[in-house]
Structure 1
Amino acid sequence: MARLFSKLKAIDFFKKIPSDLTEATLTGAWLSIVAAIIMVCLFMAELSSFLSTTSKTQLLVDRSPRNELLKVNFNISFPALSCEFATVDVSDSLGTKRLNLTKTVRKVPVSLDLERVGAAMDDHNHPLPKYDEEGKFDDVEDIDITVPLSHDNFQTTLARYPIVVINFYAPWCHWCQRLEPTWEAATKEVHDKYPEWDGRIRFAKVDCTQEMELCRSHFIQGFPSIRVFRKGHDDIYIQGMHEHEAYMGDRTKEALVAFADSLVPSAGQPHRKLASLMSAPKTPGCNLAGFVMVKKVPGTLHFVARSEGHSFDHTWMNMTHMVHSFHVGTRPSPRKYAQLKRLHPAGLTPDWADKLREEFFVSEHPQSTHEHYLQVVLTTIEPRHNRRTGAYDAYEYTVHSHTYQSDAIPSARFTYDLSPIQILVQETSRPWYQFLTTTCAIIGGVFTVAGILDAVLYQSFNAVKKMQLGKQG
């Protein structure tokens, strides 16, 4: 056993020098102190680097699940588009078309200054109203063709009768042309049934091509628009604003006469209104806010005036709009936002997810359509812990906007196109063995360099002393 231990000593890497053969120097002491300080500083820096995490960025083909839907969020105000006709449509390159979305869209009337007025409006898809057969009243004689009201006698008429039902029309409108004979026949029957001495209800009409300012003052944007005006004595009327409602029912003689009959009992009672009537707009604009779920293919969001049974004068349509927000995907929680801000390859700018925020686009010419082209890129953040449950998808986009004039009805279009390339950012940490290797390298390297420097200085001092002794001898 003793011989075995004696042989093992022969392979000792760290052979010891007897202490009486070593010599301590003041230079060596200072170098040892400096080397120890350097070792400690480098070790602490390496420990900090080991405890911190780094990120690795890769570009790869989008790995989103097949048929996954994308959430597009928006909040946009149109100061000159009435909530009565404002709609949101979606179409995509696969041929999908969804018109007049209502379930996830909220509409709130706004003024020209974009101030919200009143509560959100209930939006419903109204079916195409029924009409009398064409030519039904061609053979009827002695129909009293009512003279359209003008700005001169409009207020006088409203003040004279408790209830006035007015048809705002345009002669060129197809639906107005179909309604005209029915309206005249219904007017005659209602006036015969409730003559002047009764004075509870009157039918009238306004030609909006002749009385443009009058129609615009009542926010008429689609033709025909049938409004119910109540004289009454309520506060709204005293302040100069006429409380009125919109009739959206069938446009047959029987339906209009029945509608007049249902209104008569409320004559002289301004606060009694029919539940079937819609509140007519009191402001010219509309704020549309909400979201839509779309397929991950190129598509377009259309903000446009649309209604079954109404025509629009394209020169009247003004699609000026303010984009309060427009972003793709889900907003991150504060924790995920901090994580995203820390790991994002280029950092986060204030508009990193919403390049259109608080942007204002003005229609300087009639029949102007605004188009915004968005290129959307997906960035996936995978933290070191819980990569599956803690991963977060962040969508960013670049946008280019322009305005053009066309013969089609003006609109605001948001066209989006998704990049097939996904940016994957993975949070990584250094392996423990690299930390140990680097620590050994720091200690051994500093010790070796200090030893070499000590040997050089020691030999240099000895050489200088020998030279001095040789000159003295």
Structure 2
Amino acid sequence: MARLFSKLKAIDFFKKIPSDLTEATLTGAWLSVLAAVIMVFLFAAELMSFLSTTTSTQLVVDRSPQNELLKLNFNISFPALSCEFATVDVSDSLGTRRMNLTKTVRKMPIDIEMMRVGSAVEDTSHKPGPKYDEEGRFDDDQDIDITTPLSHVNFEATLARYPIVIINFYAPWCHWCQRLEPTWEAATKEVHDKYPEWDGRIRFAKVDCTQEMDLCRDHFIQGFPSIRVFRKGHDDIMIGETHQHESYLGDRTKESLVAFADSLVPSAGQPHRKHAALAAAPKTSGCNLAGFVMVKKVPGTLSFVARSEGHSFDHAWMNMTHLVHSFHVGTRPSPRKYQQLRRLHPAGLTADWADKLRDQFFLSEHAQSTHEHYLQVVLTTIEPRRSRHAGSYDAYEYTAHSHTYQSDAIPSARITYDLSPIQILVQETARPWYQFLTTSCAIIGGVFTVAGILDALLYQSMKVVKKMNLGKQG
């Protein structure tokens, strides 16, 4: 066993020199102190580097799951678009087209100053259009034309004279108005025969909006024909301090109109009695549309436009001026994820990093103006070191280019979006432990070796100098 240990000593890398054969010098002491300080400093720096993380940024093809949907969030105010007809449509390059979205969209009436007025407007999608009488049904009654259109001169006097006045706001060029005209005259004659002037409880009337533009605009008429119910005195529906008149949205056949009139007559003179078949008529000029839509991750368009089955619109009357309060893509980050994103984002975060359209106002300076905003959307995925999969976050950013143009189509506000196929992947990584050990050993060994070389050079130099001095003295 002793011989084995004796042979094992032969492979000792660290052979010892007897202490009586070594010599300590003051220069070596100073170098040892300096080397120790350098070792401690470099080791501490390496330890901090090991405990910290580094980020790597890569451009990769979008790794989103197949058929994943994208969330578009918006809050936009239109001071001259009534909630009665304001709709949100979505279309994309795959041919998908969804009209009048309502489940995830809230409509809030606003005034011309874009201040909210009243409560949110309830809306239902895919409302069936009103029914009309067959064309030509009243061709034999060509002599029926008993209703002379009201004007701004006698409008208020007519409303004050009768407890209930049902008014048809129309435009002669409107296709639906032309369909309604013979039916309206026939229904007017029957109702006035049934409830003559001496009865005085109800009257039918009409207003030509091409002749009485200001009168129609004062009552926020944007689609034709619009049938409104006006109540006199106590029959007004009071909401707050305003008189709330009502809009008829039922079928436009003679039988339906006469039946509707019959159902209204008993309420004449009864205060605050609201008819179940009537919807509140708009008393403000504008609408705030807020909510979100889920879309496929392909190029598409989000459209805000006036739309209604059974109504026509005068394009020259439509004003699509709007204020974008916010428009962002995807889900807003939580405070913790926002801090991660702010720390790891390759270029840092600007104030409008996720919402380039925020608080921007777009004015329609000319008639029949359509506003279009073109967005190019880029996905940045942040993967922190801890909980890489559970804690990862997808941040969507976009560039926005807006312009306004005039066309013969109905004016609208359009947000066209296009998604980049390239995804920015930001990964936070930590250094492996073996790299830390390797670097630490390199620091200690390297500093010790360099210090030893310097010490040997200084020691030998000093010996040479001493020899030279002794030779001169001899």
Shorter-chain TM-score tier: over 0.9
Q: Is the 8 A contact 1:229 1:242 kept in 2?
A: no
Is the CA contact 2:77–2:322 (under 8 Å) kept in the aligned structure 1?
Answer: yes
Tell me whether 1:118 sits opposite 2:125 in the alignment.
no
Query: In structure 2, do the counterparts of structure 1 residues 12 and 245 end up closer, same or farther at CA, with 3 Å as the change threshold?
Result: same
**Alpha carbons of structure 1 residues 271 and 188: separation in structure 2 relative to 1, 3 Å:** same
| Rounded Cα–Cα distance in structure 2 between residues aligned with 1:401 and 1:238 | 40
Q: TM-score, length-normalised on structure 2? A: 0.95
1:130 partner letter: K
Using the alignment, how far apart are the partners of 1:245 and 1:24 within structure 2?
Answer: 107
Aligned match of 1:3: 3
- Tell me how many residue pairs correspond in the alignment: 473
Give the Cα separation in 2 of the matches to 1:3 and 1:444. Answer: 33
* Contact 2:168/2:225, CA 8 A, preserved across alignment: yes
Between 44-53 and 343-352, the greater mean CA deviation after superposition: 343-352
Q: Report if the CA contact (8 A) 1:231-1:270 is conserved.
A: no
Quote the Cα distance in structure 1 between the aligned partners of 2:383 and 2:241: 61
Distance 2:412 2:464 in 1: 93
Alignment correspondent of 1:57 = 57
1-side partners of 2:230 and 2:452: how far apart?
102
Distance 1:400 1:238 in 2: 42
Per-residue deviation, 1:472: 4.0
CA distance in 2 between partners of 1:268 and 1:452 (Å): 113
Q: Match for residue 353 of structure 2?
A: 352
Counterpart of 1:197 in structure 2 is: 198
Q: C-alpha distance in 1, partners of 2:159/2:466?
A: 122
Identify the residue that residue 69 of structure 1 maps to in structure 2. 69
Q: Deviations over 1:251-309 (max 9, x none)?
A: 11111111111111221234111122111111111111111111111111111000000
Matches of 1:71 and 1:315 in 2, distance apart? 33
Q: CA contact under 8 A between 1:230 and 1:270: conserved in structure 2?
A: no
Q: Residue type matched to 2:381 in 1?
A: T
Residues of 2 paired with 1:141 and 1:324: CA distance?
53
User: For residues 160-179 of structure 1, what are the structure 2 equivalents within 5 Å?
Assistant: 160-179=161-180
SS of structure 2 residue aligned to 1:128 = coil
Provide the rounded CA distance (Å) in 2 between the counterparts of 1:469 and 1:113.
Answer: 103
Shift of 1:239: 9.7
What residue in structure 2 maps to residue 211 of structure 1?
212
CA offset digits 1:181-205 (Å, max 9, x no partner) = 1111111221222222222111111
1:41-77, Cα deviation, whole Å (9 max, x unpaired): 2111111111112222222221222111111111111
- 1:143-292 equivalences in 2 (<5 Å): 143-233=144-234, 241-292=242-293
SS in 1 for 2:233: coil
CA distance in 2, matches of 1:172, 1:242: 31
Partner of 1:429: 430
Matched with 1:25 is: 25
Return closer, same or farther for 1:236/1:450 CA change in 2, 3 Å cut-off: farther
CA 276–235 in structure 1, closer or farther in 2 if over 3 Å, else same: closer
Is 1:139 the counterpart of 2:149? The answer is no
List gaps (5 residues or longer) in structure 2.
none
- Which is further off, 234-243 or 411-420? 234-243
* TM-score (norm. length: structure 1): 0.95
Report the residue type matching 1:116 in the other structure. Answer: R
Give the CA deviation at 1:5: 2.3
In the TM superposition, what is the alpha-carbon distance from 1:142 to its structure 2 partner?
5.0
Is contact 2:329–2:354 with CA below 8 Å preserved after alignment?
A: yes
Looking at structure 1, the residues matched to 212 and 149 of structure 2 have their Cα atoms a distance apart, in angstroms, of 10
CA shift at 1:469, angstroms?
Answer: 4.0
SS of aligned partner of 2:255: helix
Cα deviation code 1:427-471 (max 9, x no counterpart) = 211110000001111111111222222233333334444444444
SS in 2 for 1:311: coil
Aligned-residue sequence identity (percent) comes to 84
Please give the alpha-carbon distance, in whole angstroms, between the structure 2 residues aligned to 1:387 and 1:17: 54
Partner Cα separation in structure 1 for residue 441 and residue 68 of structure 2: 50
Measure how far apart 1:34 and its partner are: 2.1
In the alignment, the residues of structure 2 paired with residue 242 and residue 164 of structure 1 have an alpha-carbon distance, to the nearest angstrom, of 15
Moved more, 332-341 or 288-297: 332-341
Matched, 1:341 2:342: yes
Question: Which residue does 1:307 correspond to in 2?
Answer: 308
| Aligned 1:386-405 pairs, distance under 5 A | 386-405=387-406
Q: CA deviation at 1:121?
A: 0.6
**Per-residue CA distance 1:326-351 (angstroms, 9 max, x = gap):** 11111122222222222222222222
Alignment of 1:360-375 (within 5 A): 360-375=361-376
**How far did residue 411 of structure 1 move?**
0.5
Task: State how far apart, in whole Å, the 2-side matches of 1:238 and 1:41 are.
Answer: 77
CA distance in 2, matches of 1:403, 1:80: 17
For 2:253, the aligned partner's letter is T
Q: In structure 1, what is the equivalent of residue 92 of structure 2?
A: 92
**Distance change in 2, residues 1:204/1:237 (3 Å):** farther
Alpha carbons 1:232, 1:269 under 8 Å: kept: no
How far, CA to CA, are the matches of 1:201 and 1:435 in structure 2? 93
Whether 2:7 is the aligned partner of 1:12: answer no
Pair 1:270–1:407, CA change in 2 (3 A): farther
Cα drift, residue 30 of structure 1: 2.4
**How far apart are residue 168 of structure 1 and its match?**
0.6
Residues 273, 239 of structure 1: alpha-carbon distance in 2 compared, 3 angstrom cutoff:
closer
- Measured in 2, the distance between the counterparts of 1:229 and 1:403 equals 39
- In 1, Cα distance between equivalents of 2:20 and 2:445: 25
Alpha-carbon separation, structure 2, partners of 1:219 and 1:263: 23
Q: Counterparts of 1:471 and 1:162 in 2: how far apart (Å)?
A: 136
Code of the aligned partner of 1:301? L
C-alpha change, 1:239 and 1:215, in structure 2 (3 Å) is farther
- Structure 1 ranges of 4+ moved more than 6 A: 234-240
1:39 aligns with 2:53: no
Q: CA RMSD in A?
A: 1.9
The aligned residue for residue 79 of structure 1 is 79
Higher alpha-carbon deviation: 74-83 or 442-451: 442-451
In 2: Cα distance, 1:411 partner to 1:29 partner = 84
Which moves more between the two structures, 119-128 or 428-437?
119-128
